[in-house]
Structure 1
Amino acid sequence: MNNSNDNILYLSQKEVKLACKEVDSVAVIREVLHLHGIGETILPDEAYLSWKNSHGEAVRSLNMPGYVGGSLNIAGTKIINGNINNPKRGLPRASGLTMLYDDLSVRIVCLMEGAQISSLRTASVTALAVDVLKGRNIHTLAVIGAGILAKAHIELLVQRIPELRSIRIYDLDVERIHALESELAPFLGEYEVAMRLSSSAEEAIRDAQLIVPTTTTTTGYIQYEWLQRGSILVNVSLDDALPEVVLKADLAVVDDWHLVKSDPRRLLGRMYRQGQIVGPDDVIEHHTGEAPRRIDAQLGEIVAGKKSGRRSLDDIVYVNPFGLAIEDVAMAAHVYQSALKLDLGIWLSR
């Protein structure tokens, strides 16, 4: 392969998947969130572009740059575009590219398909949250939604939670569940984990010690009373929980408070604007009514030992992983090194 400075390495989704097999994704996420927790990353606001396509559908494009220090010392950006109507056309809801920059010249050195890394790092953040916030044994996992993110979570969590025996899954489209069941059957059989279709989100959630919503909804529906004592809700798709869950949870954790509060479209950003919540280190001014609920910590602060996590086995834990560009950049850096080692990809002339 020609890897001179005059070329850019391109990695397709298939090649990214092959390279990912060489990467301990949860260890990478732990490393980057630790660096984030001690201030060795740079994470600007994401650029959010939304418009209507020729069919009048709401579509969007996000550009999310980031720098990761420590031993990685690398910067890059993730571009992710989405249309919630894409699955009706047989297309993924979201797709994108991740770019890495040369440390010295800052020219682009690698361009790779972004969706594989995005889904894997999302599942890996959930797995890390379980590692650092787990209380009682997790025998049942509830997954709401049966798409790509659901599959990524199931594949990773089944391997990492040895006591897991049951997955309760719910989706508005039952055929999606059947397709996912069929695809995962050999894998789940190997780990002796049963997947059961639930008749409602409530039914799935009430049975579970770990709940992972992977939907596209913008309307909350998860009620606090559905949650077992000691359970963990990792609100991956961000809007599934009702405000009461955030307000009543014993522990509320985000990945980056600044990004969370800056987004007016998502649950926590809306709650912040309504004066219902404040950040881990915000000063609470005098209130005549009920004081706002304080978000307890950023996940990286818990990983770095700067903030405490679960206080008791009975704590209900709410985790809001906004999704950070530094995670994609760190994952992409490891994928890039694996691809070079495995001789993967195509070199493109500048």
Structure 2
Amino acid sequence: MNFTEYPASELRYLPRAAVIECCAEIDVLAVVEDALVRHGRGQTMLPEEAYLGWETSAGTAARSLAMPGGLRLSGGLALGVKTINGNLGNPDRGLARSQGLLMMFDPEIAWPRTIMESAYLSATRTAAVTALTARLLGRPGMRGAALIGCGTLAKAHLALLPAGITEVCLYDRDPLRARALAEAVRDRIEVRVAADAESCVRGRDLVVTVTTVTEGYLPFEWLAPGALVAHVSLDDVLPDVVRRAGLVVVDDWDLVRHDHRRLLGRLHRDGLLLGPDGGSHPGVTPEPSARRVDTTLAAILTGAHPGRRSEHDVVLSNPFGMSILDIALGQAVEEVAARRDAGVRLAM
């Protein structure tokens, strides 16, 4: 038996190839910057994420994230939810660690309107945040970058290298993966492969961690004066980097402090890290030596915080990853797809 309140309707499905084609017509950095500014002005909706973790039959850790969000744009609301699933064992199978879907909603009837592959969008917006952070917080004249981890996110970062970077050093626990990535980009930038993480990091102006590690290994002493650390994979630096950095920046403090699986969230729960407002974790007495998170990227973009204080300060950026960035890009992709009639129409 059918129901008359469910008339025939369609949604648009955009596979990865269509998403990539649409993104080629979008100024990704401008879209991500606009979303961050709107977040700083209170024009976004960012609920908590839902997390499902499990262990595969092979004993590797896997998880699924559901990340809803919305933005108030001049033309109305942009609403959606991203699901992104990952398995730490996938690279050993020759597979990307993560894959998922982004679902965009019709804000008037609340039904799904568009579904698109989200792994490409997720990697692209992550690299865009790093590029924006480097523009805002990189020390003057920075030239050398270190990329720790040579998977999908490393490739996305190399596609959106900040202006001024002329030399990149790569390191991966799998030397073959690092060498393959170096060969793929050698014709457009000076690149070399390091034998270990320390030699990759030392002397670099920009350090980007894009790994799958769950234990820290990167101490403050490896970092050059004035270095900017884009702590993308969130568990690579040791606590002394947080403690000694001249500036600690997050994208959204509420997301960071609620996540006990990542370094800054653990430090907050242990009383070693305070929020930008000086607040401690509920029920926790902070240690006398606890440091405060300085600000958010949005606050710097909107001028509410001045950002870097000295060209000699080490700056730690800890971008948790916000759904609103995926949704802002998804909205832009939707507009291009509608104009091109891209993707496939699916009956609901």
**Taking structure 2 as the reference length, what is the TM-score of the superposition?**
0.94
Q: In the TM superposition, what are the counterparts of 1:7-156 in structure 2 within 5 Å?
A: 7-71=10-74, 73-156=77-160
The superposition leaves residues 94-133 of structure 1 with CA deviations (integer Å, 9 ceiling, x where unpaired) of 1000010012111111000000000000000001111111
The equivalent of 2:309 in structure 1 is 311
Distance 1:199 1:39, change over 3 A: same
Residues 74 and 103, structure 1, Cα contact 8 Å, conserved in 2: yes
Higher relative contact order (CA 8 A, sep 6+): 1
For 1:289 and 1:47, the matched residues in 2 are separated by 30
CA distance in 1, matches of 2:221, 2:195: 18
CA contact (8 A) 1:67 1:75 kept: yes
Alignment pair present for 1:259 and 2:276: no
Alignment size in residue pairs = 339
Q: What is the one-letter code of the residue matched to 1:218?
A: T
Partner of 1:328: 326
- Tell me, which stretches of 5 or more residues in structure 1 are unaligned? none
* Letter in structure 1 aligned against 2:197: A
For 1:138 and 1:290, how far apart are their aligned partners in 2?
A: 35
Q: Note if contact 1:63-1:78 (Cα within 8 Å) is conserved in structure 2.
A: yes
Q: For residue 39 of structure 1, what is the amino acid of its counterpart?
A: G
What is the rounded CA distance, in whole Å, between the counterparts of 1:56 and 1:295 in structure 2? 36
Query: How far 1:29 moved relative to its partner?
Result: 1.1
Following superposition, the deviation at residue 288 of structure 1 comes to 9.1
Q: For the structure 1 residues 84 and 34, does the alpha-carbon distance in structure 2 shift closer, same or farther, using more than 3 Å as the test?
A: same
CA separation of 1:88 and 1:291: change in aligned 2, threshold 3 A:
closer
Match in the other structure for 1:275: 271
Q: CA deviation at 1:143?
A: 0.3
Which letter maps to 1:90? Answer: G
Opposite residue 84 of structure 1, the aligned amino acid is: L
Q: In the alignment, which of 190, 202, 205 is matched to residue 206 of structure 1?
A: 202
Q: Aligned pair 1:184/2:180, yes or no?
A: no
1:41 partner amino acid: T
1:90, distance to aligned residue in structure 2 (A): 2.2
Name the amino acid aligned to 1:60.
R
**1:173-218 CA-partner distances (Å, limit 9, x unpaired):** 01101221222233x2xxxx21101111111111210000110001
Pair 57,199 (structure 1): closer, same or farther in 2 beyond 3 Å: closer
- Contact 2:139 2:205 (8 Å CA) reproduced: no
Deviations 1:290-325 (A, max 9, x none): 241000001111111112201111111000000000
Query: What CA RMSD, in Å, does the superposition of the two structures yield over aligned residues?
Result: 1.8
Aligned residue in 2 for 1:340: 338
Paired amino acid for 2:174: D
User: Does the CA contact (< 8 Å) of 1:136 and 1:230 recur in 2?
Assistant: no
Give 2:259's aligned amino acid: D
Q: Among the aligned pairs, what percent are the same residue?
A: 42
Where 1:142 maps in the other structure, the secondary structure is strand
CA distance in 1, matches of 2:59, 2:198: 33
Pairwise CA distance, 1:284? 6.4
Q: Distance in 2 between matches of 1:101 and 1:256?
A: 23
Question: 1:297 maps to what in 2?
Answer: 295
Quote the residue 1:245 is aligned against. Answer: 241
Structure 1 CA distance, aligned partners of 2:217 and 2:140?
A: 25
Quote the Cα distance in structure 1 between the aligned partners of 2:331 and 2:238.
36
8 Å CA contact 2:127–2:160 kept in 1: the answer is: yes
Instruction: Identify the residue that residue 165 of structure 1 maps to in structure 2.
Output: 166
Query: What is the SS of the residue equivalent to 1:73?
Result: strand
Displacement of 1:5 after TM fit?
8.2
Equivalent residues of 1:142, 1:207 under 8 A apart: no
